[in-house]
A = this chain, B = another copy of it.
Amino acid sequence: MSNVLNDRPRVGKETRARVLDVVAHLGYEINLTARHLRAGRTDTVAFVVPGFQTYFDEIADRLAAAFGAQGRHLVVESTGARPENELAALSSVRLSMYDGVILSVAGLTLTEIEGVRTTAPLVLLGEVEVPERFDHVMLANAEGAALATARMLATGSRRIAIAGGDPGGPHDGAGMAAIRRAGWVRAHEGAGLTADPALVAPGAGVGPEVGREAVRHLERSGVDYDGVFAVTDSTAVGVLAGLAEAGRRVPQDVQVVGFDNLDLAEFTVPGLTSVDPGRDAVAHHAARLLQRRIDGATPEPEHVVVPVRLVERGTTRAS
């Protein structure tokens, strides 16, 4: 029977017809679970993200296309940003459901990842340090942040605040926000200036609430500022809302730059200048690295840093 269903060559025409007839009659439905066990593959790859968010949506679309082209399915799972779930996703138990996993790391520390024993095809994504032995794709975070900051310095901003990422919080130090903050500092140094710690706005997370809260904080504190670097575009959207609320004109009074260049950035008012992380490249490398593991190769682990570029729109002044 399976010969017929899988279109094997050496089956008589009549037999094939007969089998197909019976199959249709009985309402037979193949059981994928059994096939997976037998085949040792599930033809499914998982993209595990900290949360269902626009940034990951845009990457997931590209991954789905890449894997779909080879007849593999992509599924997206969320860890809810809980480290224990990230670890669970790393355990081979969970991995054995999939031919491979691309895990976007958010909450785990280097030490926690170190402890993971896993031989299954796995690629790590995300703006944190990971052990040498894993394949890893990350962005040029510090460079991007520096690019953003330098752009505002070049067009006259001298007091550039930074919003998002819970500075000083429990997850700070090694995370994405910290690296981008380092780029913000570096750009100041590059211009012979010093970044003012008073311009680091508090607030945990990277959503719009954080951005709006950051601006409210700046306003309350009475500190002088004429630029805001938001660690993500999502944060930037909140920053724009906060600035409107405070009556600050963008970009005349305050320039704003985000990071991620979400599709949305083209539609804020004014359009959001943003650091483009080259999502195509991120997805491409993640898919490529996973593919070679799935193919059974055990190559040297690769650590890809995807370059970024600045996309200029209306939240920065013309140079």
Residues of A within 8 A of B (CB): 27, 29-34, 36-37, 40, 42, 44, 46, 51-54, 56-58, 60-61, 64-65, 68, 73-78, 80, 92-94, 96-97, 117, 207-208, 211-212, 237-238, 240-241, 244, 263-264, 266-271
Known: A33-B33, A33-B37, A64-B80. 4 other contacts (CB 8 A): A29-B96, A52-B56, A52-B58, A244-B269
Check A264/B32 contact, CB under 8 A, given A61-B52, A64-B80, A80-B64: no
Asked if A32 contacts B96 (CB within 8 A), the reply is: yes
Chain B residues positioned under 8 Å from A30 (CB to CB): 92-93, 96
Q: Max chain B CB contacts within 10 Å: which of A56, A96, A207? A: A96
Chain B residue at minimal CB-CB distance from A212: B267
Chain B residues positioned under 8 Å from A52 (CB to CB): 56-58, 60-61, 64, 76
Chain B residues positioned under 8 Å from A34 (CB to CB): 37
Asked if B60 contacts A78 (CB within 8 A), the reply is: yes
CA distance A287 to B8 in the complex (A): 41
Chain B residues positioned under 8 Å from A37 (CB to CB): 31, 33-34, 36-37
Check A57/B54 contact, CB under 8 A, given A30-B93, A32-B97: yes
CA distance A212 to B271 in the complex (A): 13
Chain B residues positioned under 8 Å from A269 (CB to CB): 240-241, 244, 268-269
Chain B residue at minimal CB-CB distance from A56: B52
CA distance A40 to B32 in the complex (A): 11
Chain B residue at minimal CB-CB distance from A207: B263
User: What is the oligomeric copy number?
Assistant: 2
Chain B residues positioned under 8 Å from A212 (CB to CB): 267
Asked if B264 contacts A208 (CB within 8 A), the reply is: yes
CA distance A65 to B267 in the complex (A): 31
Asked if B244 contacts A92 (CB within 8 A), the reply is: no
Asked if B61 contacts A51 (CB within 8 A), the reply is: yes
A–B complex contacts, Cβ < 8 Å, 6 sampled: A27-B117, A33-B36, A51-B61, A73-B77, A74-B77, A212-B267
Chain B residues positioned under 8 Å from A97 (CB to CB): 32-33, 42, 44
Chain B residue at minimal CB-CB distance from A242: B267
Asked if A33 contacts B237 (CB within 8 A), the reply is: no
Asked if A208 contacts B42 (CB within 8 A), the reply is: no
CA distance A60 to B266 in the complex (A): 26
Asked if A29 contacts B93 (CB within 8 A), the reply is: yes
Chain B residue at minimal CB-CB distance from A244: B269
Q: Which of B27, B61, B78, B271 contacts A78 (CB 8 A)?
A: B61
Asked if A237 contacts B264 (CB within 8 A), the reply is: yes
- A283 to nearest B CB, angstroms? 12
Asked if B263 contacts A208 (CB within 8 A), the reply is: yes
Chain B residues positioned under 8 Å from A240 (CB to CB): 267, 269
Chain B residues positioned under 8 Å from A93 (CB to CB): 29-30, 32
